[in-house]
Chains A and B, each alone.
Chain A
């Protein structure tokens, strides 16, 4: 696409599709505002960019100049950021059109997109189920075909888990690969922005466009960005894959297990070698994560005080103002995590919880680095089950946390990972995701594996009938 009229047509068609899929409650941007902005963007987009005219929806915790950034929270209702995220600026520089903001769990805290102040999002193929989270709106819009691509963010699996549940490709880049500038911080040592697309090649293209060092994010790493898409040639002969025995747990759905085993056999038939490996500290990942992530969240979310920006509920003195504002502005899950994070950082508990968790995190990373001395990538299920029912876990935070059991270690270790479709459950027909984990800055390898697998399977093209 290089003609402005094509870009305009693409923008209008995306807006029409988003309107048709309003029932998903996946897009938070009012449609009039979205249409108007897309027309302006189409007329000013960079025609020479590799993403020229591609509508990309953006999770509502990533700052954009075009639309409000509420993070799915009442405390930031109507908030318009005075700057945009570097990842968004890079996509725009490559010609992409920002196609509205997507619904998410408040501040990225959740695994079902049920914890949004703007109502839950729905699974694109089964309205009784969740699309996953926290980037559920982004995954749902891509899976339903409203937009070809969307951005999400990950702290413990919030791109890969909804990608798996909705049947699309989602990538969590290595920590430092993509700038976090303009991503509203949840847990700064874990957060990363990642793309959702229908197929691996589009994900590779988006990732390449977004990646690279950024002077505004000192945790971004000054390494050259490979030409990911150009190297997707289907050749995975000789690549060695590790199958961690700790991921074959009791709670793993038999249909998920069977689909992943079949995918592993397919990768073997394409020339990859598969060996069993051990990641011995896997059992401690969820506990470690919920100490570190909540501790960092309690500090990061202290900025929402009703003074500088966002909503404000008056009080007789500043302390009352803070408490009233935050008490009324944050939802139940965010409050729970802030309180938990404050607790584990408090005097008397810091060593037993936070410091201990930091050390276990090191052990989890060492497990991966040791494994990667022998294998090029690791293959696992993305989630223990397919999409679960609305409300099934929303009253039990611990059960909700445990649904991220296969994705969390990747964030703790700071490595890269992706999820791609590898099958469906029989009844109801719901997508199953295959997770590939790569070495730090080893995105190229997992993209090659995913692409080779995708080329000889049709899962990414299949759409279940709408229920």
Chain B
């Protein structure tokens, strides 16, 4: 299984990861080797009847849908890189601005 530089770049974009062009050759080579290795699972005879295993309790327990105070020592204002008047600040959505303009 060989992965091209372009494929790695595209996957990195999907994962919202900025990866430099310099890093692409090594990443592509390592990814190809790893994917070649993990592809061996296709040799396992696993019929359609085999259900994917989900660990944990057999039945997921739901909590009552109640509004409770958050058990936090402090709030998001102290955690967020940029926060004002109860909102997380992000850059403007350039594309929408252009459309409006």
Near A by CB (< 8 A), chain B positions 47-101 give 50-57, 60-63, 71-76, 78-82, 88, 90-95
Interface of B, secondary structure class, is: loop
CB pair B40–A307 under 8 Å, yes or no, is no
Complex formed: what's the CA distance from A338 to B18 in Å?
12
Interface of A, secondary structure class, is: helix
User: Chain A, 316-357, contact with B by CB distance < 8 Å: what is the 0/1 string?
Assistant: 111111111011101010011011111110100000110111
- With A298-B15, A317-B94, A321-B91 known to touch, is A176 a contact of B55 (CB < 8 Å)? yes
Complex formed: what's the CA distance from A341 to B31 in Å?
11
Q: Looking at the complex, which one of B3, B15, B23, B40 makes contact with A287 (CB distance below 8 Å)?
A: B40
Rounded to whole Å, the gap between the CB of A456 and the closest CB of chain B is 35
Rounded to whole Å, the gap between the CB of B8 and the closest CB of chain A is 7
- With A290-B38, A340-B31 known to touch, is A308 a contact of B79 (CB < 8 Å)? yes
CB pair B88–A308 under 8 Å, yes or no, is yes
Q: Which of B14, B17, B61, B81 has the most CB of A within 10 A?
A: B17
CB pair A308–B52 under 8 Å, yes or no, is no
Chain B interface bracket (under 10, 10 to 19, 20 to 34, 35 or more)? 35 or more
Complex formed: what's the CA distance from A359 to B44 in Å?
9
Complex formed: what's the CA distance from A108 to B11 in Å?
22
* Any B CB within 8 A of the CB of A426: no
Q: Looking at the complex, which one of A288, A307, A342, A355 makes contact with B14 (CB distance below 8 Å)?
A: A342
Q: Looking at the complex, which one of A215, A318, A336 makes contact with B93 (CB distance below 8 Å)?
A: A318
- With A82-B75, A176-B55 known to touch, is A312 a contact of B31 (CB < 8 Å)? no
* Any B CB within 8 A of the CB of A305: yes
User: Chain B, 33-53, contact with A by CB distance < 8 Å: what is the 0/1 string?
Assistant: 111011111101010001111
Complex formed: what's the CA distance from A191 to B56 in Å?
11
CB pair B55–A175 under 8 Å, yes or no, is yes
- With A82-B72, A357-B41, A360-B44 known to touch, is A176 a contact of B16 (CB < 8 Å)? no
Total A-B contacts with CB atoms under 8 angstroms apart: 181
A65 — which chain B residues lie within 8 A by C-beta?
73
B51 — which chain A residues lie within 8 A by C-beta?
359, 362
Complex formed: what's the CA distance from A175 to B16 in Å?
31
B33 — which chain A residues lie within 8 A by C-beta?
398
Rounded to whole Å, the gap between the CB of B31 and the closest CB of chain A is 6
Q: Name which residue of chain B comes closest to A323, CB basis.
A: B18
Q: Name which residue of chain A comes closest to B57, CB basis.
A: A221
Rounded to whole Å, the gap between the CB of B45 and the closest CB of chain A is 9
CB pair B52–A355 under 8 Å, yes or no, is yes
CB pair B53–A365 under 8 Å, yes or no, is yes
* Any B CB within 8 A of the CB of A222: yes
Complex formed: what's the CA distance from A371 to B95 in Å?
59
Q: Which of B11, B30, B34 has the most CB of A within 10 A?
A: B34
CB pair A310–B81 under 8 Å, yes or no, is yes
Rounded to whole Å, the gap between the CB of B32 and the closest CB of chain A is 11
A306 — which chain B residues lie within 8 A by C-beta?
81
CB pair B11–A342 under 8 Å, yes or no, is yes
CB pair B82–A312 under 8 Å, yes or no, is yes
Rounded to whole Å, the gap between the CB of A11 and the closest CB of chain B is 22
- With A175-B55, A322-B16, A359-B50 known to touch, is A336 a contact of B31 (CB < 8 Å)? yes
Q: Looking at the complex, which one of B56, B74, B91 makes contact with A82 (CB distance below 8 Å)?
A: B74
B73 — which chain A residues lie within 8 A by C-beta?
65, 82-83
* Any B CB within 8 A of the CB of A314: yes
Q: Name which residue of chain B comes closest to A343, CB basis.
A: B11
- With A323-B16, A358-B52, A365-B53 known to touch, is A312 a contact of B8 (CB < 8 Å)? no
* Any B CB within 8 A of the CB of A302: yes
- With A284-B44, A317-B92, A362-B51 known to touch, is A219 a contact of B19 (CB < 8 Å)? no
CB pair A398–B37 under 8 Å, yes or no, is yes
* Any B CB within 8 A of the CB of A391: no
CB pair B15–A281 under 8 Å, yes or no, is no
Complex formed: what's the CA distance from A328 to B17 in Å?
9
CB pair A359–B57 under 8 Å, yes or no, is no
Q: Looking at the complex, which one of B41, B88, B94 makes contact with A360 (CB distance below 8 Å)?
A: B41
Near B by CB (< 8 A), chain A positions 68-88 give 79-80, 82-83
Complex A-B, nearest 4 residue pairs according to Cβ-Cβ distance, in ascending order: A327-B18, A358-B52, A312-B81, A219-B56
4 additional contacts (CB under 8 A) given A302-B15, A338-B17 = A218-B60, A284-B41, A308-B76, A359-B46
Supply 11 A–B pairs (Cβ within 8 Å), ascending by A: A82-B72, A83-B71, A176-B56, A287-B40, A317-B92, A317-B95, A327-B20, A340-B34, A346-B14, A365-B53, A398-B30
- Chain A residues near B (Cβ < 8 Å): 65, 79-80, 82-83, 175-176, 189-190, 215, 218-222, 281, 283-284, 286-288, 290-291, 298, 302, 305-312, 314-324, 326-328, 330, 332, 335-336, 338-344, 346, 352-353, 355-363, 365, 397-398, 401, 414
